[in-house]
Each structure stands twice: as structure tokens, then as C-alpha cells.
Amino acid sequence: MAETVADKYRAFISYSHADTAYAKWLHRGLDRFRVDQDLVGRETATGTIPKSLRPIFRDRDDFTAGHSLTDQTLAALDASAALIVICSPASAKSAYVTEEIRLFKARHPERPVIPLIVDGKPGDPNLECFPPALRFKLDDDGRLTGEPVELLAADAREQGDGKNLALAKVVAGLLGLSSDDIFRRAERERRRQGRIRNGIAGAIAVLILVGGFFGWQALQSQQRLSEIEALVARYSFVGTAEAAVPGSKQSLTDAITSIAQGAARDPRYAQALDLLKAGKPEEAEPLLAAVAEDKKKAAATQNKAAAEAYRNLAAIAAISEPQKARAYYAEAAALDPENVEGMYYHGWFQLQAGSLDDAETAFRRALRTAEQGNETWAFWSRIGLGDIHQDRGDLASALGEYRTASKMAESPAEADPDWQRSLAIAYGAIGDIFMRERQFADALKYYRDKLEIFLQPCQGLSGECLGAKRSRRGRSSVRKGAGAARQARGSAKGLRGERRPFSTLGHGRPRQCSLAAEPFRGLQHRRRHDGDAGQVR
């Protein structure tokens, strides 16, 4: 056997030559991924979080002279902490890919295997994308059996997760982090995606009308639109900091648009915009802070404008310094407490920092404002309050908040896929509480209800689908106990550093999802709470 160095590689990418372009894209994305400083050194189920994901082994590039192909492959497999399999009809037929999977599973059954679909259709005889060693279990001697494995995978196809979300899931699996925050961001982003370009174009149209030079301004507006979109794309690449901030891309778009508009009035905004274009957000931050401070001092009547400036500042600071973003969102919330989104962001950052009292105050204020007509923010505020109660060990109060959130989502979920996913989040949270209470039958029911929502092929939960769901729920009650509940929760969590295949989330396109599972709830809570016991009445 070849001599190896343990965990020399963060991951081994196994793929067919036909999928080389996807392998290069994945390798490049993982190499460029930035790990936030506050996460480096944290212990997760996959080990200590490193400063970066490098090196990643992609065998066709990483072989060197002096070894045979087999020796190099075995050495690299043994030295890799995880195996990423690029799944397509070509890789499903590749004996080379199948053997790499078989060897990795046989030699290191405790290490995670992360499937990433790029083409094909699972289960289709002509378009099968999963290699045999991925689809079937191994016996004790490392040989393939006929016993199938339940597979949940990240899906880079347009009709699946899309490349950005699929990449984020692979990263979450490698680092042992939850992708629940990514899901929340993606949901909020997707609901607003259609408004982003219109908002930017509308802002530029106002500048054109004010300027009065319609022909020249038309050209300038198009150039400005392209510059703003390029900056948003540059700074909103899926990384840990961005994935952790709900709705961060929309906030970043609003911030850069506002800075671009203010550049004509304030030279500090113009200089900050130039620094952002030069890739220096940390140097732009003091200029934006000076603008925000000036607006704050101007007058009490300008509080809303000052709050907007601080929200813009927070969105930019979150790119590289989330700790500062927390302070800036706190300033914005103090200046304009009626802005429900700003108040929610304030609460969310306080919760991540462990300031539970401040987070609770913010979520309750956001909830009071949202209950006047914004059901979406009311739902997420309830979820946030439930998370706070979990952190405090008050399981009964946490259960009450999660149940209230689920009731809020049930009615609109009958016809709205967005609310269906929100309902699934609430079900999963309720299941977590029952697992901690060791009430396994109840936990099993809620985990299965959560999974069934993401496995729905139809547009809503009404009619035949809802009937089928209730029928399956009845059958699920037959199988009870800790083992069944843990199995259902494992399917719901997908790859969370527990050596299970990764989850395919279809929330990008709910009506076309073929392998949809579900997002994952607060890993930070599960690490602290799994196995604990409390009293829920």
C-alpha cells in the first residue's frame, strides 16, 4: 500500500473525464472559499474548522511522476478527509469512479461521501447519474451488495439547487456546519430576486430624469447599472459570512445602489465606491462610517436616513467583518426601530453573538411591527424566539414559539411553495424539541412531515397531495421508538458531519425537484443540545 499522510487533503474529487469542466469549477470554487475568522478553530463533527479548504485533490491534475495510477489514487484517498463524487450518466458508467468510491467507503467508512449531481436523472435506466458503489452498500469484505443506499445529494443543475447553492452545501458538508442559514438566505433572496434589477434600474432612472441629459444619461445609466451588478456579484460569492446573514445579497444590492446614488452629492460616497471597485471594502468602511455619523448628528428628524446609512454600512461590513456589522445593525435599529427588516437583522446578529437578552428584545420588537401586516417577518421572528428559548434550556417555551410559527405557515402553505418550506422549518424545530425530550414517536412524526413537504412533486399541499401526506402520516405512526426517530432526523438533516450523503434541496425550483429533501435547522443548537433532557409540558 502506498505511504500516505493522514488528512493531507480536505477532499478528493472523483469524476469522469466527460465532467472535467464541472470538476474544475468545483475545484476552483472550493479553493477560493473564504472561512470567516470567527469560525476558524471551531470543533464540529468533521473536525477542527481550518482557515481554508485547500488543498483539494483532483486526481487528473494532481498525479506526479514516480507512482503508478493505482498507488497515487490509493494514497490520495487515504489522505483525504472526505470524498466528493460528481454524479452524471458518464460517471455512473465509469468503472474508475465506481472503484474510487468503493475503495474510499471500504477503507474509510467513517468519512463523509458527498454526491454532487451535475447531469442525468437518478433512477432513470437511461439517465442514471449515481455510480453503483454510491447506490449500493458494501459487505464486510468491501464488495458491492444488492442492498440500496438512500441517497441525498447536492444538485448543481438549473432545475435543482443551481451552482451557487450546491457549492454552499458541499462546503457545509466539508466543514460540518448547518446549511439552515443558507436556506433562509436563499429563500429570502429568491423571493426578492425579481425585484433586484428593477430596483437598480429604477434608481438609475431617477438619476437620468434629474440630470436632464437623456441621451447621454441613458448611456451613463447602463454603465452604472453594470458597475453595480458587477460589485454585487463580486462581493456576494457564496461564502460563510454571506451564507450566515439572512437576505444579505438584497441588503448588499440596496447598499451599493444607495452609495452610487450618493456619490454625486458626497465625495466620501464617491471615494468609497471607487474603493469597492478596487476590492478594498475595509478601506471604504471608515468613509461610510463618517457619513453615517454625520447623518446621526444632523437631527432627530433624519433618524430614518441615518438608519438607512447604517444598514448600508452594515451590509458592506458583513463582507469582511461580521462583528462590526453587528454593531452597525444595532445603531440602525436604535435609530429606526419601526424598520422590521433592520430590527430582525439586529436580533439575528445578537443571537449569533450569544447576546440572548438583546436578541430577544429585537425579535419581539420586530414581531410587534410585523404583526401589523408582514406575516413573513412575524414567522421568522417566532423562529428566532424559539431558538433563544432553546439556548436557555427552556424547551416548553421554545416548543410554544415553534408551534405558533407552524400554525402561521399552515394556511398560506396550502398554495404557496415558499410557505411550504417555512412550514417544514417549523416542523423540524418541533421535532428537535421532542428528540431532546426523548419523545421519539412525536419527533418521528414531525421529522417525516418535514421530509414529506420537500418530497412533494406538486405545487401545493392541497388536494391529492395533502391527502397522500396525511395517509403517509398515519402509516408513519406505526414505526416508533428512538431508532426510527433518529433515522428520520438523519434523513432530514442530510450531511451534517455524521457520515451521511448530502442533501438535495429543491427549494430553488420546488415544482421540478426530483430528489428534494429539506434544509437543516440551527447546528449551533444541536451541538449544544443533542442528548440533553428537559421538561416539555
Cell 438609475 sits on residue? 204
Q: Which helix (DSSP H) or strand (DSSP E) does residue 110 occupy? A: none
pLDDT band at residue 193 under the 50/70/90 scheme: low
Cell triple for residue 52? 481554508
**Mean pLDDT score, 356-370:** 95
- The per-residue pLDDT for range 108-139, each reduced to its tens digit, is 999 999 999 999 999 999 999 999 999 999 99
- The per-residue pLDDT for range 296-355, each reduced to its tens digit, is 776 556 788 889 999 999 988 888 888 899 999 999 999 999 999 999 999 999 999 999
Q: Are 229 and 200 in contact (CB under 8 A)?
A: yes
Q: What is the overall mean pLDDT for the chain? A: 77
| Segment among 97-101, 115-119, 230-234, 522-526 with least mean pLDDT | 522-526
| Segment among 88-97, 312-321, 431-440, 469-478 with least mean pLDDT | 469-478
| Segment among 17-21, 64-68, 468-472 with least mean pLDDT | 468-472
Rounded Cα distance between 254 and 354, Å, is 28
pLDDT at 168 over 80: yes
- The per-residue pLDDT for range 1-23, each reduced to its tens digit, is 333 445 689 999 999 999 999 99
Nearest CA-CA partner of 405 in 393, 389, 415: 389
**Mean pLDDT score, 383-391:** 95
pLDDT band at residue 515 under the 50/70/90 scheme: very low
pLDDT at 26 over 50: yes
Rounded Cα distance between 169 and 165, Å, is 6
The residue ranges of every structural domain in the chain are 11-151
* pLDDT given for residue 271 in this prediction: 93
pLDDT at 478 over 80: no
Rounded Cα distance between 439 and 357, Å, is 29
pTM for the whole thing? Answer: 0.43
pLDDT at 283 over 60: yes
pLDDT at 462 over 60: no
* pLDDT given for residue 464 in this prediction: 40
**Mean pLDDT score, 18-39:** 90
**Mean pLDDT score, 484-489:** 61
In DSSP notation, 130-194 reads: S-HHHHEEE-TTS-EEEEE-----EE-STTTT-HHHHHHHHHHHHHT--SHHHHHHHHHHHHHHH
* pLDDT given for residue 484 in this prediction: 61
pLDDT at 406 over 80: yes
pLDDT at 237 over 60: no
Rounded Cα distance between 255 and 285, Å, is 12
In DSSP notation, 229-286 reads: HHHHHHHTSS-HHHHHSTTHHHHHHHHHHHHHHHTTT-HHHHHHHHHHHTT-HHHHHH
* pLDDT given for residue 235 in this prediction: 72
**Pairwise pLDDT comparison (184 vs 283), residue with the higher score:** 283
- Percent over 70 (pLDDT), the chain: 69
**Mean pLDDT score, 479-501:** 48
| CATH top-level class of 11-151 | alpha beta
pLDDT at 368 over 70: yes
* pLDDT given for residue 195 in this prediction: 63
* pLDDT given for residue 177 in this prediction: 81
* pLDDT given for residue 385 in this prediction: 97
Q: For Cα atoms 185, 244, 367, give the angle at the middle one, nearest 5 degrees.
A: 65
